[in-house]
Every structure is written in C-alpha cells, then in structure tokens.
Amino acid sequence: MTKFLKTKIRIGVFLLFLISIYSNTKAQKSNDISVSFYPVFNNSIINFNQSAFYKTEINDSIQFNLLRFYISGIQLLNDHKVVWEEESSFHLIDANENLLSFLIHPSINISYTQIKFNLGIDSITNVSGAMGGELDPTKGMYWTWQNGYINFKLEGKCNQCPTRNNEFEFHIGGYQFPYNSIQTISLMVEPLKNIDIDIDLKKLFESIDLLNTNNIVSPSKEAILFSNKIASVFSNREK
C-alpha cells in the first residue's frame, strides 16, 4: 500500500469520526416533538373532506367545509418562565389538506411543563407585508397590506343560518388597534412527549347564535369577540 493511499484512508477515517461526533451531538441537543390538532364535535374527529352532518344541542344539523388557521410564536415554559422558543415560528394548519401537525425541536436537556403559542399572526409580521413560505398569500390567508393576515377561517352550513344555502363564514383577523384579534393560548404538557390538542367546535358553536352571527369576514369588534371564543375551545387531548 502506497504512502499516498494510507494518507487518504487516514483522512477518510478521521472525517467519518467527525461526522459521527456531529451526528451524536446533534441528536443529544434536540428532540423532535409532534404538535397535532384535532377538530372535534361531540368527541368525534371531524372529517372536512366528507359531507358529514353533526347534531347540535337543539337537534339541528351542522356541516363543516373548511378549517384553516395560523399557529405562531411557540414557546415552552417551566414555572412560568420561557426556557425555549421556536425561531421563525409560523405554522399553517389546514384540516382540508390534512395538515394538522408539525414538529418542534426543543433541546432534551431542558425542563418544561407548559406550551404557549399564538393563534394568529403578530402585528410586526403583519406590517412587514405579504411574505413567503407558510405566510405566502397564495395560501389564501392574506387580505391586503391594510388588513393583513387572516388568523382563523371556518366555513360550513347549518339550518339555523338565515343565509343563502344556510352557510356560515368566519374569517377572523385584524392586527391594528382596536381590532387586534391574535390570541395567546397556554396548555400544560409532559416534557419530551408528543403534544395533542383538541379544538372543540361543539363548544364553540354552543357560544354562538348562528341566527344573528353567521358572517364575519373583516376586522371588527365582532371578530375580537369571536377570536376570544375560539381560543377557549383549545385543550389537551385526553390520552
């Protein structure tokens, strides 16, 4: 074996050693955790791609055709103190496309008991104008530079709605005072375990009078009130 070949072998072995160290270090510093959302009605997961109807408390029927919303600003906390936060933290959840989960990558050497996130897009991002990636306007979640991003979309039908085809339409957004509709949600979690979150749409619609409230599609006082109700129906999924 020539001296040149021996040198190449030594270099190759050394590079493999460095790659191994890097891979192990990276594995030790982070851990993939899935954050998943489950839209439910009467404890049943809603299928947005089927024409299924669900019974309400007043024995009416309701159908869901679209659910889409933004999750942003994800943080993990311990004793009410932030111990980790996600960079460039924007995730579009789309039930119709079965895009109901994403991964976060906290360090495994931190302790935390709580996840905190925004339902919607913050004002600083809104004033930056339309962006790319999850925030691309082609996702159908951007109004204009004046009104900014739509935080939450929900569409469907209910016999109770005195509208054309009994349709309801809620496009909730707005970032300028006094109509900043972003909501902050905090839930208790188990460290290094996948996080499953229910969105109880039955509870949401029990708090709404569809006879009078069935169409909100711009920033307004009604949008603020509706966003408060949305935030209240997020909860830990029972395992």
Give percent of the chain with pLDDT exceeding 70.
Answer: 87
Cα(227)–Cα(182) distance, rounded to whole angstroms?
A: 7
Cα(57)–Cα(47) distance, rounded to whole angstroms?
A: 20
Q: Which of 5-9, 67-71, 96-100 has the lowest mean pLDDT?
A: 5-9
pLDDT at 83 over 80: yes
* Domain chopping of the chain, boundaries: 1-30, 32-236
Q: What is the mean pLDDT of residues 61-90?
A: 96
Read off the amino acid at residue 234: F
pLDDT at 1 over 70: no
Q: What is the mean pLDDT of residues 88-105?
A: 96
Pairing of strands 195-200, 33-41: parallel
Q: What pTM does this model have?
A: 0.86
> What per-residue confidence (pLDDT) applies to 238?
84
> What per-residue confidence (pLDDT) applies to 120?
98
Q: Encode pLDDT of 116-163 as tens digits.
A: 999 999 999 999 987 899 999 999 999 998 999 999 999 999 998 999
> What per-residue confidence (pLDDT) applies to 129?
81
pLDDT at 57 over 70: yes
- Asked if residues 225 and 76 have their Cβ atoms less than 8 Å apart, the reply is no
Q: Which of 20-29, 64-73, 93-102 has the lowest mean pLDDT?
A: 20-29
Q: Encode pLDDT of 189-222 as tens digits.
A: 998 899 999 999 999 999 999 999 999 999 999 9
> What per-residue confidence (pLDDT) applies to 10?
54
pLDDT at 5 over 90: no
User: Which has more pLDDT, 229 or 4?
Assistant: 229
Q: Report whether the peptide linkage leading into residue 178 is cis, meaning its omega lies within 30 degrees of zero.
A: yes
Q: Encode pLDDT of 11-32 as tens digits.
A: 554 444 444 444 444 443 458 9
- Asked if residues 62 and 44 have their Cβ atoms less than 8 Å apart, the reply is no
Q: Encode pLDDT of 170-191 as tens digits.
A: 999 999 999 999 999 999 999 8
Secondary structure (H, E, C), 128-146: CCCCCHHHCHHHCCECCCC
> What per-residue confidence (pLDDT) applies to 14?
43
